């Protein structure tokens, strides 16, 4: 796990505590939360000692997200949220925090089967922010975060403790320190299911500004790619996107993307690859319109507008 992810976790807890302290006004509670706040701040920067524990209020968050999903996001789906929660809890608690395998989640996944129309699957690696704006604009895209399991568990942390029927809210191990990390095992299985379900044209969004844009150790490289079925997938459409201001490290003809293409070819997939996708560039330019590389784009848009209005 990267330092970034650990810092994100810290922020989550700090946020959680801030919300809690603004809700409760009792003086003693404020005192306690100030103290906890202080401890969190002490622990976060150094990243010494144990990781933060299970996300506070996890049960309310997970159940709330599940009900939100089946009621407002995708009312067509029928799921028993309480049953899913029970299966989840069953898989995690009473286990040592490094001993939850993908098989332990088997019953939970059985309680939430999901399929989706073809041509909509979007995979990504190290392009999370851009992926979100892309998926928001091209509305039909479907990412792991749009599946019920992805929606329910996004950004959460959890682990159990041996011989105890609850979650461990004080600390959870890092992903890298155990083979069967409860969070990793769930995402591994979720990613595999997602990939196995993929059909038609699929899109893969990779980051051209880093070395190993296609990383065999990433979830895409280690799980999803192997789960894709050449008989179900028509085309793997790869889109490599570098930051507007570079560095320009990898492209369709350079670096690890070439390895990805070789793997796809050897497994019988048809593929395309672009490192100059206009829509993605426009989305980046919306975030930073003053980038020199955005000027032509802005000019042509202005030009088009003046043509329309004249
Ligand atoms: C891990 O889980 C398995 C099966 O659930 C159990 O047999 C084993 O004793 C556990 N190991 C540890 C170290 O908790
Ligand atoms: C590529 O990865 C870097 C480092 O993780 C990140 O800062 C950047 O936003 C990513 N670029 C894109 C286009 O997603
Ligand atoms: C699938 O991708 C191929 C290659 O990019 C394209 O020619 C075809 O039109 C796409 N089909 C659909 C249904 O999007």
Please give the Cα distance from 244 to 120 (Å, whole number).
26
Q: Is the dihedral of CA 229, 232, 237, 242 positive or negative?
A: negative
Ligand 1 test: best mutation among 95, 160, 164, 173, most atoms within 8 Å of CB? 95
Please give the Cα distance from 110 to 84 (Å, whole number).
9
State residue 251's pLDDT score: 96
State residue 288's pLDDT score: 87
Which pair of structure tokens corresponds to residue 48? 């010494």
State residue 2's pLDDT score: 37
| Residue 99, strand partner residues | 180
State residue 11's pLDDT score: 36
What does pLDDT average to in each consecutive run of 10 residues of the chain (310 residues)?
A: 35 35 37 37 39 92 97 91 96 89 96 90 95 89 94 96 89 88 96 96 96 95 96 97 94 96 97 95 91 72 50
Q: Which atom of ligand 1 is nearest to the CA of 180?
A: 1
Please give the Cα distance from 205 to 196 (Å, whole number).
18
Is residue 215 in contact with ligand 2, taking CB distance under 6 Å? Answer: no
Pairing of strands 233-241, 122-125: unpaired
Backbone angles phi, psi at 226, to 5 degrees: -70, -25
Is residue 127 in contact with ligand 2, taking CB distance under 6 Å? Answer: yes
Is residue 180 in contact with ligand 1, taking CB distance under 6 Å? Answer: no
Report CA dihedral (18, 24, 27, 32) to the nearest 10 degrees.
-50
Sequence-separated (6 or more) residues with CB below 8 Å from residue 73: 151
Q: Do 30 and 21 form a contact (C-beta atoms < 8 A)?
A: yes
Which pair of structure tokens corresponds to residue 28? 């003693």
The vertex-200 CA angle with 111 and 286, nearest 5°, equals 95
Is residue 212 in contact with ligand 2, taking CB distance under 6 Å? Answer: no
In the reported structure, the alpha carbon of residue 175 is separated from the centroid of ligand 1 by a whole-number distance in angstroms of 18
Sequence-separated (6 or more) residues with CB below 8 Å from residue 96: 160, 161, 162
3-state secondary structure 120-163: CEEEEECCHHHHHHHHHHCCCCECHHHCHHHHHHCCCCCCEEEC
Is residue 101 in contact with ligand 1, taking CB distance under 6 Å? Answer: no
Q: Which atom of ligand 1 is nearest to the CA of 95?
A: 14
Percent of the chain that is helix, strand, coil (3-state, to 5): 55, 15, 35
Pairing of strands 200-207, 122-125: parallel
In the reported structure, the alpha carbon of residue 13 is separated from the centroid of ligand 1 by a whole-number distance in angstroms of 30
Which pair of structure tokens corresponds to residue 172? 């959870």
CA-nearest of 48, 49, 39 to 17 is 39
Backbone angles phi, psi at 241, to 5 degrees: -125, 120
Closest residue CA from atom 14 of ligand 1: 96
Q: Do 214 and 206 form a contact (C-beta atoms < 8 A)?
A: yes
Q: Which atom of ligand 3 is nearest to the CA of 272?
A: 5
Across the chain, the runs of DSSP E, i.e. the strands, are 122-125, 160-161, 164-167, 200-207, 233-241, 270-274
In the reported structure, the alpha carbon of residue 70 is separated from the centroid of ligand 1 by a whole-number distance in angstroms of 34
CA-nearest of 93, 89, 87 to 112 is 87
Catalytic residues: 118, 199
State residue 15's pLDDT score: 36
Closest residue CA from atom 12 of ligand 2: 127
């Amino acid at each position: 796990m990267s330092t970034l992810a650990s810092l994100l976790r810290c922020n989550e807890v700090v946020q959680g505590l801030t919300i809690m302290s603004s809700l409760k006004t009792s003086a003693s509670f404020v005192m306690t939360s100030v103290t906890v706040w202080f401890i969190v701040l002490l622990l976060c920067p150094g990243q010494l000692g144990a990781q933060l524990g299970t996300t506070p209020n996890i049960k309310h968050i997970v159940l709330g997200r599940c009900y939100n999903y089946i009621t407002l996001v995708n009312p067509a789906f029928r799921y028993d949220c309480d049953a899913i929660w029970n299966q989840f809890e069953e898989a995690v608690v009473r286990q040592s925090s490094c001993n939850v395998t993908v098989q332990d989640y088997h019953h939970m996944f059985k309680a939430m089967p999901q399929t989706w129309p073809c041509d909509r699957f979007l995979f990504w690696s190290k392009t999370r922010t851009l992926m979100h704006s892309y998926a928001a604009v091209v509305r039909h895209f479907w990412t792991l975060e749009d599946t019920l399991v992805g929606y329910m568990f996004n950004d959460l942390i959890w682990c159990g403790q041996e011989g105890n029927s609850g979650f461990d809210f004080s600390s959870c191990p890092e992903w890298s320190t155990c083979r069967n990390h409860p969070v990793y095992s769930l995402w591994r299985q979720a990613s595999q299911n997602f990939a196995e379900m993929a059909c038609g044209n699929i899109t893969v969004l990779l980051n051209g500004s880093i070395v190993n844009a296609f990383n065999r150790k990433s979830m895409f490289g280690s799980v999803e790619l192997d789960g894709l079925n050449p008989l179900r997938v028509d085309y793997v459409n790869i889109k490599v996107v570098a930051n507007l201001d570079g560095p320009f490290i990898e492209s369709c003809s350079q670096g690890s993307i070439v390895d990805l293409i070789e793997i796809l070819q050897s497994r019988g997939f048809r593929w395309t690859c672009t490192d100059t996708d206009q829509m993605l560039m426009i989305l980046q330019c919306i975030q930073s319109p003053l980038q020199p590389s955005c000027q032509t784009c802005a000019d042509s848009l202005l030009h088009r507008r003046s043509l329309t209005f004249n």
